[in-house]
């Protein structure tokens, strides 16, 4: 499938916005994009029967220590805090599974297939202590039967590493240019250079789970810090965005920009030793689309600069790269699903194209709620089909 747009195209629930209108939008669109983004009907059935419930409060999870058998487990994440949160299962700095944008009072389900071992779980704010997830050995089953040989994916994995190296170098350059403008005191230029840096990083979002420490430093939104925008730990791209577009000021941004460049350089060095398996490529791509699809009013990714469309398009290119590389192997047994994923990408790209004016996208803030709902539905459909691919290939 070849749906790549022209090269010059560069490119984390539900709260009220006008109270009645947003509530109606979210409820009406729930079946179409909220539940669709949960990846599969089978997962939704499992979440209603035998799921492990985790409740997130202000400072911790309940329970904060879990034991489950190896294999597939469905978790229900209940948010009883006063802000949108995320819940993640981590193996070191690697995010194995996650749910983002869980609005106050809401519940989301997550299905994870885990090997025996000990993992960490995030519990709301990034500053909160991590919980512990113990996965005990279980009798071996037929889970891996029919799984494609890793040998079949060697070429795709190698090419993806080359792609990531190039895109990371581009992010280092864009972040350095942005930092230079900030330190030169040029607000107008810095505002122009924010989007290229944001877009460059968006290409890399399918691997965000593999670099969770750096991703938190580079791309975490204010919601995940105790004092939000005023929290000293809030940094990276969105702290720069907040200063440039919400405060219209460069005050305090120089050290933030310097750290952004240092984190980008650390990422570039780490990419060469990063081992990314096909399952991680697919699940990472699904997570990127799900992240956009489940963002409710007020939880937009680029809420200060309103560059969400450019960021989404860049994320889509990153996801498309993954699917293009894996399709030759996956299509041998699942051609219809691969074809559907290709159609999902075309539909979303076509919709994005309607908001492009010459060499730039319109501000996300100018879209109607119906416009935004359509984009979220399309992103959710792509996330769902990527989730199906992960399941049918038995890579989950």
The rounded distance, in Å, linking the Cα atoms of 119 and 133 is: 5
Whole-angstrom Cα Rg for the chain: 20
User: Which domains does the chain show, CATH number per domain?
Assistant: 35-136 (2.60.40.420)
Say yes or no to pLDDT of 187 above 80: yes
The rounded mean pLDDT for the chain is 83
Lowest mean pLDDT among 52-66, 88-102, 123-137: 88-102
Tell me which of 336 and 7 has the higher pLDDT: 336
Instruction: Taking residues 203-213, report their average pLDDT.
Output: 90
CA distances from residue 73 to 79, 171, 260, 395 in whole angstroms, order as listed? 19, 36, 37, 15
The C-alpha angle 344, 94, 315, rounded to 5 degrees, equals: 30
Tell me which of 65 and 251 has the higher pLDDT: 251
The rounded distance, in Å, linking the Cα atoms of 117 and 64 is: 17
Quick one: pLDDT band at residue 394, thresholds 50, 70, 90?
low
Say yes or no to pLDDT of 141 above 60: no
The whole-number pLDDT of residue 149 equals: 67
Q: Percentages helix, strand, coil for the chain, rounded to the nearest 5? A: 55, 15, 30
**Percent of the residues in the chain that have a pLDDT greater than 90, as a whole number:** 49
User: Where does 48-146 show beta strands of DSSP type E?
Assistant: 52-56, 61-62, 65-69, 71-79, 85-91, 94-102, 107-114, 117-121, 131-136
The whole-number pLDDT of residue 108 equals: 78
248-281 burial, b at 16+ Cβ within 10 Å, e below that, comes to eebeebeebbebbbebbebbbeebeebebebbbb
Report which of 281, 270, 284, 259 is spatially closest to residue 326, judged by C-alpha positions: 281
Quick one: pLDDT band at residue 20, thresholds 50, 70, 90?
very low
Tell me which of 288 and 97 has the higher pLDDT: 288
Instruction: Taking residues 185-203, report their average pLDDT.
Output: 97
CA distances from residue 44 to 38, 75, 197, 379, 395 in whole angstroms, order as listed? 7, 11, 37, 19, 19
Structure tokens at 54: 């985790």
Tell me how far the alpha carbon of residue 145 is from its chain's centroid: 29
The whole-number pLDDT of residue 136 equals: 87
The rounded distance, in Å, linking the Cα atoms of 210 and 92 is: 9
Q: Give yes or no for a contact between 109 and 127, defined as CB atoms under 8 angstroms apart.
A: no
Instruction: Taking residues 355-383, report their average pLDDT.
Output: 95
The whole-number pLDDT of residue 193 equals: 98
The whole-number pLDDT of residue 140 equals: 47
Say yes or no to pLDDT of 212 above 50: yes
The whole-number pLDDT of residue 113 equals: 75
Say yes or no to pLDDT of 216 above 60: yes
CA distances from residue 199 to 121, 213, 232, 312, 327 in whole angstroms, order as listed? 29, 20, 25, 9, 25
Quick one: pLDDT band at residue 308, thresholds 50, 70, 90?
very high
Instruction: Taking residues 154-165, report their average pLDDT.
Output: 93
Say yes or no to pLDDT of 51 above 90: no
Quick one: pLDDT band at residue 48, thresholds 50, 70, 90?
very low
Q: Give yes or no for a contact between 132 and 305, defined as CB atoms under 8 angstroms apart.
A: no
Nearby residues of 361 by Cβ (< 8 Å), 6 or more positions away: 307, 309, 310, 313, 352, 355
Condensed to tens digits (0 to 9), the pLDDT of residues 253-274 reads 999 999 999 999 999 999 988 8
Structure tokens at 107: 């519940």
Say yes or no to pLDDT of 8 above 50: no
Q: Give yes or no for a contact between 309 and 352, defined as CB atoms under 8 angstroms apart.
A: yes
Tell me how many helices (H) and strands (E) the chain has: 10, 11
Nearby residues of 6 by Cβ (< 8 Å), 6 or more positions away: none
Say yes or no to pLDDT of 34 above 70: no
């Amino acid at each position: 499938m070849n749906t790549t747009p022209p090269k010059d195209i560069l490119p984390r629930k539900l709260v009220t916005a006008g109270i009645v209108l947003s509530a109606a939008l979210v409820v009406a669109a729930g079946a179409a994009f909220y539940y669709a983004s949960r990846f599969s009907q089978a997962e939704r059935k499992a979440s209603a029967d035998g799921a492990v419930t985790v409740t997130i409060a202000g400072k911790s999870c309940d329970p904060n220590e879990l034991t489950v058998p190896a294999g597939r487990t469905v978790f229900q994440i209940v948010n009883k805090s006063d802000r949108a949160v995320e819940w993640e299962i981590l193996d070191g700095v690697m995010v194995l599974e996650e749910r983002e944008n869980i609005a106050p009072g809401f519940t989301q389900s997550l299905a994870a297939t885990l090997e025996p071992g000990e993992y960490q779980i995030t519990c709301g704010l990034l500053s909160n202590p991590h919980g512990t997830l113990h996965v005990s050995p279980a009798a071996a089953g037929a889970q891996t039967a029919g799984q494609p040989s890793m040998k079949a994916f060697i070429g795709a994995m190698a090419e993806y590493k080359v792609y990531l190296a190039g895109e990371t170098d581009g992010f280092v350059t864009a972040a350095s240019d942005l930092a230079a403008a900030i330190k030169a005191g040029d607000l107008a230029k810095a505002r122009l250079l924010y989007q290229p840096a944001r877009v460059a990083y968006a290409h890399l979002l399918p691997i965000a789970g593999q670099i969770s420490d750096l991703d938190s430093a580079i791309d975490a939104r204010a919601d995940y810090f105790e004092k939000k925008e005023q929290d000293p730990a809030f940094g990276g791209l969105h702290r720069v965005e907040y200063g440039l577009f919400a405060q219209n000021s460069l005050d305090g941004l120089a050290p933030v920009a310097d750290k952004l460049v240092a984190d980008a350089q650390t990422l570039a060095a780490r990419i060469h030793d990063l081992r990314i398996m096909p399952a991680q490529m697919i699940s990472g791509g699904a997570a990127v689309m799900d992240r956009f699809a489940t963002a409710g009013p007020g939880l937009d990714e680029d809420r200060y600069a309103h560059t969400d469309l450019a960021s989404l398009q860049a994320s889509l290119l990153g996801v498309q790269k993954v699917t293009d590389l894996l399709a030759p192997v996956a299509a041998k047994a699942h051609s219809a699903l691969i074809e559907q994923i290709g159609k999902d990408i075309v539909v979303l790209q076509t919709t994005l194209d309607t908001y492009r004016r010459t060499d730039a996208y319109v501000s996300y803030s100018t879209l109607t709620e119906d416009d935004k709902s359509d984009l979220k539905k399309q992103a959710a459909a792509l996330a769902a089909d990527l989730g199906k691919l992960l399941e049918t290939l038995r890579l989950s």
